[in-house]
């Protein structure tokens, strides 16, 4: 592609060198630069791409996009921009032919519920006959092809490349999780969103390499509703009501407690599902969702609203919601021959932990055994809150490790214990997560439910010096096998 055409939608401060040249490739990794490539220097958290500008030129790059001055030796065109992340997004979209304009693009943002809501929408649309691409925390899917996800919202170049692949495989719709980091770091800058969804907002992702405070976190979320054509917003959340007021797009609201465009009434919860009447501007129907809990009602309202906007027949919405499986969300792990249940869930915030434990407590016939930890190098203030929640709701709690990262696990466990001591809840501390799960399964009796919170779909455990494979489904299976030997 001609360089002058490639940078047509990019904000530029100045250029040095010829714009009348063909660009053979685009990269933000200097190691991948080849002759004729454009190298875009990103100032990242761990490293600054400007430091590798000479390496890219030595590898053959003929164009550099920078936001800082660089001194390089070689015949290279330098394009200076106000923000190289924004430039990466805009250039990537043009390089791949603006693929998001060829499909319906639905973005879901919020603290909780993004993954489940994307799976709900995908399930419904596939029942309707659509070819759907999915991008998110658990995996990226193109039809039946699954690609492991490294981050919730990919870097802009990788995202646009994925859009291109989805378009080429015949996808007519893409539903994606849009993280606050993805918005803040402009990974979705050049995406043509048809619909944006706001699920909820609570304390998470504060500190370290994420957001300095709640205001920054919330302001990042709001950006989606300056980008999309139609917004679907949960106004039971006070933050949702604020977004609805400030959005520049057409807005539809949903709620359980308040009057909204899409409302749930006559809610009935079961151990394996939830059903409710749904009143919308498009239809009024009763729906059943195959994931239990009030949080499933909210997620379903978001999905139903999206499908209402898209004109989907309610019969396909019913089929999609009734036949739903979301990895790591209230997922029951097989325990053949046992009369207790093991459930894994991604709950890793105070609100999400309270949601899953309260839901299970509402239908468990025996005891509720809670096994959870908190991630290291993350907001410490939520740890005692989560300890207090588990101590208050569960019949027994096992506090354990969950991605301690560079922190001492003992300090994380002590922070959680500080909260559980405020309750009368019975508990034990077992740092090794596998031993904690083994302890829970050994103590479980008939009709008990063990809830393993925090990891959900994750298949790894992060320590200071290593990351190991760790899939709780396999752990449970191995413990059962050992017990049978």
Whether 472 shows a pLDDT value over 80: the answer reads yes
- Residue 207's pLDDT band, with cuts at 50, 70 and 90, is low
Quote the CA–CA distance of 480 and 367 in Å, as a whole number.
Answer: 20
Lowest mean pLDDT among 54-63, 121-130, 256-265, 266-275: 266-275
Q: Are residues 404 and 363 in the same domain?
A: yes
Domain span at residue 399 reads: 331-484
3-state secondary structure of 376: coil
Residues, the chain: 485
Asked if 325 and 120 count as a contact pair (C-beta separation under 8 A), the reply is: no
Here the CATH number for the domain that contains residue 75 is 3.40.1390.10
Quote the CA–CA distance of 62 and 36 in Å, as a whole number.
Answer: 5
Whether 335 shows a pLDDT value over 60: the answer reads yes
Here the CATH number for the domain that contains residue 207 is 3.40.1190.10
- The whole-number pLDDT of residue 203 equals 55
From residue 479, alpha-carbon distances to 211, 461, 472 in Å are 39, 18, 10
- The whole-number pLDDT of residue 208 equals 54
Cα end-to-end span (Å), the chain: 63
pLDDT, averaged across the chain: 94
End position of a domain, from candidates 301, 322, 343? 322
Whether 172 shows a pLDDT value over 70: the answer reads yes
Q: Are residues 200 and 87 in the same domain?
A: no
- Residue 204's pLDDT band, with cuts at 50, 70 and 90, is low
Residue bearing tokens 């949080």: 295
- The whole-number pLDDT of residue 134 equals 97
Q: Are residues 91 and 110 in the same domain?
A: no
- The whole-number pLDDT of residue 209 equals 55
Q: Are residues 217 and 337 in the same domain?
A: no
- Residue 270's pLDDT band, with cuts at 50, 70 and 90, is confident
Q: Are residues 161 and 209 in the same domain?
A: yes
Three-state helix/strand/coil letters over 152-175 = CCCCHHHHHHHHHHHHHCCCCEEE
Q: Are residues 193 and 255 in the same domain?
A: yes
- The whole-number pLDDT of residue 462 equals 96
3-state secondary structure of 320: helix
Mean pLDDT of 146-158: 85
- The whole-number pLDDT of residue 210 equals 60
Q: Are residues 223 and 361 in the same domain?
A: no
Q: Are residues 267 and 121 in the same domain?
A: yes
Q: Are residues 77 and 190 in the same domain?
A: no
End position of a domain, from candidates 58, 79, 95? 95
Torsion of CA 180, 355, 208, 216, to 10 degrees: 40
What would the pLDDT profile of 391-415 be if each residue is shown by its tens digit?
999 999 999 999 999 999 999 999 9
> Percent of the chain scored above 70 by pLDDT?
98
Here the CATH number for the domain that contains residue 374 is 3.90.190.20
Put simply, whether the predicted model's pTM sits higher than 0.75 gets the answer: yes
Q: In this structure, are strands 262-269 and 274-279 parallel, antiparallel, or unpaired?
A: antiparallel
- Residue 122's pLDDT band, with cuts at 50, 70 and 90, is very high
From residue 4, alpha-carbon distances to 1, 10, 80, 160, 434 in Å are 9, 10, 14, 20, 57
Quote the CA–CA distance of 59 and 53 in Å, as a whole number.
Answer: 10
Quote the CA–CA distance of 244 and 232 in Å, as a whole number.
Answer: 9
- Counting the structural domains of the chain, the total is 3
Quote the CA–CA distance of 335 and 207 in Å, as a whole number.
Answer: 38
Mean pLDDT of 236-258: 93
Count Cβ atoms within 10 A of the Cβ of residue 170 and give its class: 0-12 exposed, 13-18 middle, 19 or more buried: exposed
Residue bearing tokens 């400007």: 50
Q: Are residues 20 and 162 in the same domain?
A: no
Q: Are residues 364 and 450 in the same domain?
A: yes
Whether 192 shows a pLDDT value over 90: the answer reads yes
Residue bearing tokens 């055994």: 369
End position of a domain, from candidates 305, 322, 339? 322
- Residue 147's pLDDT band, with cuts at 50, 70 and 90, is confident
3-state secondary structure of 283: coil
- Which residues, other chains included, contact 425 with Cβ-Cβ below 8 Å and sequence gap of 6+? 390, 391, 392, 394, 395, 396, 397
Mean pLDDT of 320-347: 94
- The whole-number pLDDT of residue 190 equals 94
Q: What is the largest CA-CA distance in the chain?
A: 75
DSSP single-letter state for residue 48: B
Q: Are residues 64 and 158 in the same domain?
A: no
What would the pLDDT profile of 315-330 be if each residue is shown by its tens digit?
999 999 999 989 899 9
- The whole-number pLDDT of residue 146 equals 84
3-state secondary structure of 196: strand
Whether 211 shows a pLDDT value over 70: the answer reads no
- Residue 442's pLDDT band, with cuts at 50, 70 and 90, is very high
Whether 468 shows a pLDDT value over 80: the answer reads yes
């Amino acid at each position: 592609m001609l360089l002058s055409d490639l940078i047509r939608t990019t904000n530029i401060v100045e250029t040095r060198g010829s714009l009348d040249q063909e660009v053979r490739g685009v990269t933000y990794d200097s190691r991948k630069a080849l002759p004729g490539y454009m190298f875009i220097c990103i100032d990242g958290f761990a490293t600054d791409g400007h430091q590798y500008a000479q390496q890219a030129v030595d590898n053959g790059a003929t164009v550099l996009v920078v936001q800082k001055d660089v001194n390089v030796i070689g015949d290279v065109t330098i394009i200076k921009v106000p923000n190289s992340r924004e430039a990466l997004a805009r250039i990537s979209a043009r390089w791949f032919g603006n693929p998001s304009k060829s499909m319906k693009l639905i973005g879901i943002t919020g603290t909780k519920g993004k993954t489940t809501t994307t799976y709900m929408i995908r399930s419904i649309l596939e029942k309707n006959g659509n070819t759907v691409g999915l991008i998110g925390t658990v995996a990226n899917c193109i039809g039946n092809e699954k690609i492991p996800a490294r981050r919730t919202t990919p870097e802009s170049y990788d995202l646009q490349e994925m859009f291109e692949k989805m378009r080429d495989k015949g996808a007519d719709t893409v539903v994606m999780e849009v993280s606050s980091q993805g918005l803040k770091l402009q990974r979705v800058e050049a995406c043509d969103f048809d619909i944006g969804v706001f699920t909820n907002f609570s304390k998470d992702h504060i500190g370290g390499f994420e957001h300095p405070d709640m205001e920054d976190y919330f302001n990042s979320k709001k950006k989606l509703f300056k980008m999309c054509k139609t917004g679907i917003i949960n106004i039971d959340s006070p933050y949702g009501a604020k977004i609805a007021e400030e959005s520049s797009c057409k807005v539809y609201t949903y709620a359980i407690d308040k009057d909204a465009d899409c409302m749930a009434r006559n809610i009935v919860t079961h151990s394996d599902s939830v059903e409710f009447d749904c009143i919308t501007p498009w239809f009024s129907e009763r729906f059943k969702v195959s994931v239990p809990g009030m949080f499933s009602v909210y997620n379903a309202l978001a999905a139903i609203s999206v499908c209402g906007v898209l004109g989907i027949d309610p019969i396909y919405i019913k089929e999609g919601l009734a036949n739903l499986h979301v990895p790591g969300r209230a997922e029951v792990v097989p325990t053949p021959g046992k009369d207790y249940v093991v459930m894994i869930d991604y709950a890793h915030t105070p609100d999400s932990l309270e949601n899953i434990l309260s839901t299970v407590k509402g239908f468990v016939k025996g005891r509720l055994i809670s096994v959870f930890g908190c991630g290291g190098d993350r907001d410490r203030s939520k740890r005692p809150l989560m300890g207090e929640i588990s101590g208050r709701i569960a019949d027994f709690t096992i506090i354990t490790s969950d991605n301690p990262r560079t922190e001492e696990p003992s300090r994380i466990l002590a922070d959680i214990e500080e909260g559980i001591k405020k309750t009368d809840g019975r508990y034990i501390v077992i740092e090794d997560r596998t031993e904690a799960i083994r302890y829970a399964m050994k103590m479980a009796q008939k009709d008990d439910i063990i809830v393993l919170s925090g990891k959900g779909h994750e298949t790894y455990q992060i320590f200071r010096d290593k990351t190991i494979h760790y899939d709780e489904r396999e752990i449970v299976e191995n413990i059962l096998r050992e017990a049978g030997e």
